[in-house]
Structure 1
Amino acid sequence: MFKNIRTLALTTAIVSATAVSAFAENPMVGGAAMYADKNIVENAVNSKDHTTLVAAVKAADLVETLQGPGPFTVFAPTNAAFDKLPDGTVETLLKPENKDQLTKILTCHVVAADAMSDAISKMIADDGGEHPVKTVGGCTFTAMQKDGKIMLKDGQGNVATVTIADVDQSNGVIHVIDTVLLPAS
């Protein structure tokens, strides 16, 4: 009987340690746990730092797409990134008549691949310090690295820094960024 209790206790400890280590692999985003077995939308809705992005994804009817099998790499701007846009920009983009423009901007934050930061860093290094990043929205941004941080320059010269990298998802990866990337004018 005691042997079974010890075996049960050991098994419980191993399962608990495995669950904790699996959980620890993903960083917290916006005060919320991010689960590798959930998709991009399921995780994003829990981040208090991404409420504007989630609202925009809903307004652009991209929820179903980003819940799909992917793989997707999403460069996810925070609420503070959206706040850096000129006054009224977000409100204007969220209007139904601007859905195409909103969709273009959002899909320019998505790459049709599962690109973790080490792979992006290698591509940057292999290309001599800058790597073109082609998005599903038809934009091409320039990935570069400074002080160990991955940065993306958009078609208008804006530079976004990855502030939280490698948030693993069931259908790809999220990299949190501090600036909204925009298509070339």
Structure 2
Amino acid sequence: MQKLLSLIFVFLFIFLAASCKNENQEVNSLESVNTTNEEIQKSELNRAPKKALTPEGIAISKSIMSQIMNERDLKRFASLIVTAEMATQLTKDGGAYTVFGPSNTALDSLADKNNKFYSKQENLDKLIDLLKSHIVEGEHSKESLSESISKSGKLKLKTLSGTSLILTKADDKIIISDNKGMKVKVLKGGEKGSNGTSYVVDGVLTAN
């Protein structure tokens, strides 16, 4: 009988010890949660409020250059613009522009020797000339281009490099021809930005 009482006492001792341990864990867990919540609240209070964009900042975020950089099919074209140090011109300088940017695939299709040629620092002027042959002054939305072409069957635009572009339509698509007979098709684009608009074309127009 004494042995049985001893076993019961041991069992009760273990049970009470386990209960106390669980209670301590729950308290510690609750304290940890409260501490974490307090830290989060302090962090949120100490966080600096977001600054509102200035009118200039809004214009830059909606500029042609921003459009080009955010268009996945113009990543390579955007890189060339930065290399040619023309990004500022398409961000906030001067008046409105319309850009007919060659797609990544179009630039990849250039002969390897041409890609190497335009990547060299000593040929920077030639790269600038090539890029300017894809840019015209003034803002030309897709609707205005279509209307102008419909009136006379074609529209002539002068690029920043001095070349002329002839725009026509075929199967409801806008086709652009340059001085040397190169023809490219407008794939997409035409949304108005703060200083013009941009398009994606499926080929590379020639420079002077």
* Superposed pair shares fold, TM > 0.5: yes
SS of alignment partner, residue 45 of structure 1: helix
Gaps of 5+ in 2: 1-58
Q: Is the 8 A contact 2:67 2:198 kept in 1?
A: no
Q: Provide the identity percentage.
A: 29
Secondary structure of residue in 2 paired with 1:162: strand
Pairs within 5 Å for 1:32-181: 38-69=62-93, 70-127=95-152, 129-181=153-205
Q: Deviations over 1:29-87 (max 9, x none)?
A: xxxxxx99611122322333222111110111101111125311111111111122212
Other structure's SS at 2:144 match = helix
CA contact (8 A) 1:141 1:155 kept: yes
- Normalising to structure 1: TM-score of the pair? 0.74
How many aligned residue pairs are there?
Answer: 149
1:18 corresponds in structure 2 to: none
Amino acid of the residue matched to residue 47 of structure 1? Answer: E
The structure richer in helix per residue is 2
Q: C-alpha separation between the residues in 2 aligned to 1:159 and 1:36?
A: 32
* Cα displacement (A) at 1:149: 0.6
CA contact (8 A) 1:93 1:101 kept: yes
d(CA) in 2 for partners of 1:50, 1:166: 14
Specify the code of the residue in structure 1 equivalent to 2:92: G
Q: Are residues 43 and 165 of structure 1, via their aligned partners in 2, closer, same or farther at CA, if it must alter by over 3 Å?
A: closer
Paired residue type of 2:71: S
Output the CA distance in 1 between the equivalents of 2:60 and 2:121: 33
- For the residue of structure 1 that corresponds to 2:92, the secondary structure is coil
- Cα separation, partners in 2 of 1:97 and 1:36, compared to 1, 3 Å: closer
Q: Which runs of 5+ in 1 are unaligned?
A: 1-34
Q: Which has the higher contact order (CA 8 A, sep 6+)?
A: 1
